[in-house]
Structure formats: structure tokens, C-alpha cells
Structure 1
């Protein structure tokens, strides 16, 4: 295990496709860290006018894909940067009323909600185009939703959207039609919080519900397992899968609110906790796995981050 020190709290971690470089976002500054020498380069100096909301690395490793939010307005933009120099290659402004900009785990799509048209937008990085908005059509008994509580399927066509107390609705983004609803059980109805994610293969959907991590076979709406934290989990900030799909990592705070957030690791098949090296941080802010699956990075709520080997 080795430790790196950033200029501020690390808000984003992303590995290059060859697993040799780690990119960090801290205080709107983007750094590139060589995992062999532990040396870093400042790619993008801090910019007070714009916040780097999310960061992914393109599959070819040549570009960084970021979702940026203006510090002075509601403007959201998608930026493509050169991975070596940090220079902006292209910049596309989202629609005027676009909100909740998110980047898919594999970085191929970005998506968000348009408050004026009440529709979902998708940005296709590969095609470099903004796809037409798709109005959403809720089931008759579900009329509101939290657009920030959503997950995009790896196929880019299926979106899961949750509303606390109402479950999760899955939509076909080509038609806007609701195709499936996940409600949980009578004993424990699904009350999704602000983190959910599809597995890399797209066959399962993981949802945080009242502090529990719940796994679904979403096509059959069948619950697979639920890991109960005993009421200790107060909020969740990350939900990241190992490339093999065998392990999921997440950052969760524990109640009461002044207790620190920590990195948790769980077996995808059984729901059982998995032991990993502990960096000794007082709190954790984000987590990422390398594409080759051999390395994990966890950032603290201060300025440090730790990089360690993963043994499945």
C-alpha cells in the first residue's frame, strides 16, 4: 500500500485503461499519478468558475471525459480533455434546463434530466452527439421522482430511477415507457436512497434502501439478497463494481451524522462483507478499481488517498 497527497479533498478517482495511471480531482485540480513511481503531474490547474462533477477515462486512454458544473449558474457541460496535456479538445453545453448530469461507469454515456421538458437527455461520447430528449411516462400510481437518484444500464438504453417510499422504476430511454418496477417485499418495501448501480454485465441492479444494500435481478424483479447494516449506514456516496463483477465497493457514512464515512467491500454473489486492507483514514470520500482488477484506490475526507492490491 502506498499513499498520495492531493491539494485538497479528493472528490474523483479514475484509472487509465492500462491501469498504470491514476487520475484524481481535488479542489477542481486534475492530477495524473504514475502508479510505478508515485510521481504526479498537474494536468488541469484549479478553476474556481467551474466544478468537475465527474471524471472518466476514455477506453483508448487518450482522453478524459468530464461533466462540469458552473460555480455561478446551473450550466452543465461535457468536456473532452487530452489525457497527456489536460487541454480541452471539445466542449458541449447541455440544454439550458439540464440538471443532475451523471457519467456512466464505463464513461460511454452521460445523462441528466431537463427540468423544462421533463425529459431525459443522453450524451453519446463515441458519436459526439446529444441524443433527443425522451419524456418519461410514470405508472399511474407514481407521479414524482428524484432525478438525481438514477442509474444508466451499460447498454445506454435502460434507466433506473428511484423515489423514496415508492421503489425503483426502469425506463426504456428509446420510448420513455416504464418497463419494470421494483418494490421490494411487504416486510421491507424498497425505499431507495441516492445511490444505485447496474453490475458491469448489466444483469443485476444494486440499490441502497434505508441503509441496506439490496441486489436485484431487475429483469425478473426478483430480489437476490439484502445486506443489513443494522441501522448504522446513514448515507452513501459511491457504489463501484470490480471489473470482474465479483465485488462491489461503496463509501457509506454511519449514524449519528458526525461519525466518519468508511469504505465497505461486499461480495456480489452472496452479499457478505469482504475484508480489504484498511488505510487508516478517519473518513473516506471515494473509491475506484483499476481496469485490470489488481488495484484499488480509496481517498480520505482530508487530502490523502491510498492505493493497494486487490486479492479476490
Structure 2
């Protein structure tokens, strides 16, 4: 009853009926006989036809209004459903990770695979709750794979190359692993591993806050174990997301020298305590200094 367009659709035909009817009736006088009624009908065809629009027009306006209300309800229901789907997806990711049992890789701490809530935002950054089912942020996954490739390649060279080369490779491997752990927000990397790591700085640097590298632990087994934690954590994320990872397509199908980094203790056969030797060299190097973090 408060809809202005409804009253407009009623009053407009009525006013046109009065206006046009006045023009048609003005030359005539009132005659209450059957002849007068017949004459009234004959001269009032157009006004009556216009007046008859007062019935279908309000019905049409009412249908428009009902359709608009239905559309608004559908939009609200869709918005709510999309919100529910988005947060159900987030909850499902937490539950998926919670079902993974604890595991320990070499000397790295036992990993519980607890997922940080921000990981969902990072991995599905291109989506908003009102858009419904989250879409994979492919650049995020590719950046992790790039760093994992770098970490394991540099870890292998750290274990196999001559001292001069392995020192630089060790630095790059640590940098790549910390980059992966920051993106995946792996708790164990920022607690037990970080507590047992050290910062290596160059003495010649004017700004003492600049760090050459933050180690991943202080032993060879901690480096390998930390890499395997990051790799396994990322594998679980890919499996949940349904992401077709090019990294695991390569890693799972190769059986070469890199396989020693991926599983088992074959890495100990490549070199004897290379990380420990590097850190001993650092402690004796006058150009470098070690600080706790």
C-alpha cells in the first residue's frame, strides 16, 4: 500500500478517463434513459478503454515488485551460501591437517602439522568469502615450489661440493627454507628450529643488523630434516587444495642423486658432517661473526 508506483498505475488511467471523457461528454447533456445510456457507451469507448487499464497495470506493477523482492531474496541467499561455503572450506583445511599424525624427520623436531589460519588466506588469496568456493592462488604455490627446488639443490651441493662452493650453497639452502617456512607458517620452524639456529654476519658491514644468513639449525641432519618438514607440509596443502604440483611430479618420479635428500639416511654417505665443518670454519673466520637470534 505504500508503493508509490502502484497508486500511480491506478490513478493515471482514472485521470486520463476523466480528462478524455470530459472532452467527449461536454457537448451532451445528461439523459437517464436507455437511449442516453447507449449514447454514453458509444461516445465513451476510448475513455472506458483507458480506465480499464487501471486493473492490469497495478497487477503488472505488483508482479514487478514481487519479482524484485524474489531477486533480492535469491541474492541474499546466494551471498549467505557463498559465505558458508568459503568458511566451510577453511574449516575443512584445518580438519584435514589435524588428521595428519605427528612425524619426525632426522634431527628436526617432531612436526604436528598445525596449520595457521593465515595460510588459507595466503593460499587462496584471489578469493573473497562472498565469492563462495575459494580459488587457488597459483603464484603462491609456484613461489613455494621454486624455493623447495632451490633448497634441495643447494642442500645437495652443500653435501657434495668442495668447501668453497658448499659454503655459498649452504647459505642459499637456508634462505630458501626460511622463505618456504614463512609462506607456509610452519610452527616448528619458528620454535625449536629457530631456537637452535644462529645468525652469521659479516664484520665489514657497517650496519650490524644486516645478516649474511640465518642457519637452519646447526647440524646436517637438522637441515635435511627441516627440508623434509617443509616438503611434507607443502604436499599436504597440495593434496587438500587439489593443486597439480609440478614439484612432486618431478620429485616422486626421479631416482638419482637428489633422492638422498628426499628420504632415508643416504645423505650421510655423501659427506661427513658438512654443516658442522662449515660452522667451524665460520667461527674461525675473522670476516664473519656469529650471534644468537
**TM-score normalised over the length of structure 1:** 0.19
More strand by share: 1
* TM-score normalised over the length of structure 2: 0.20
When Rg is computed on C-alpha atoms for both structures, the one with the higher figure is 2
